[in-house]
Amino acid sequence: MCLCGALSAASRDLPDKALIEARRFFELGLPRLTQSGLSEARAMQVIAALEGGMLLATALENPAAFEAAAAGLLEQR
């Protein structure tokens, strides 16, 4: 599971410094995806699908859940 995703999910209970760094991960990642040619909406979809896939794979103890989420991104090109 992505550490920044896990920290963001618990953001209401984090010290400000940790919350700032978790937010920074996403604030840096979104522009990188848009600079590669994705729209901002699509970049958010990509991050959400990957983060959600990691969450499912961890909760279900099934790596195939992540693979299915990632494969869905390729189908939506």
Q: Give residue 7's pLDDT.
A: 63
Domain count, the chain: 1
Q: Give residue 5's pLDDT.
A: 66
Q: Give residue 22's pLDDT.
A: 82
Residue 1: Cβ within 10 Å count? 15
Per-10-residue mean pLDDT of the chain, 77 residues long, equals 63 81 88 95 92 88 92 77
User: What is the pTM for the complete model shown?
Assistant: 0.77
Q: Structural domain of residue 20, as residue ranges?
A: 3-75
- Residue pair 70/53 in contact (Cβ under 8 Å)? The answer is yes
Give per-residue pLDDT as tens, 33-44: 999 999 999 999
Which segments of the chain does DSSP mark as H helices, in order? 3-9, 16-35, 40-60, 63-75
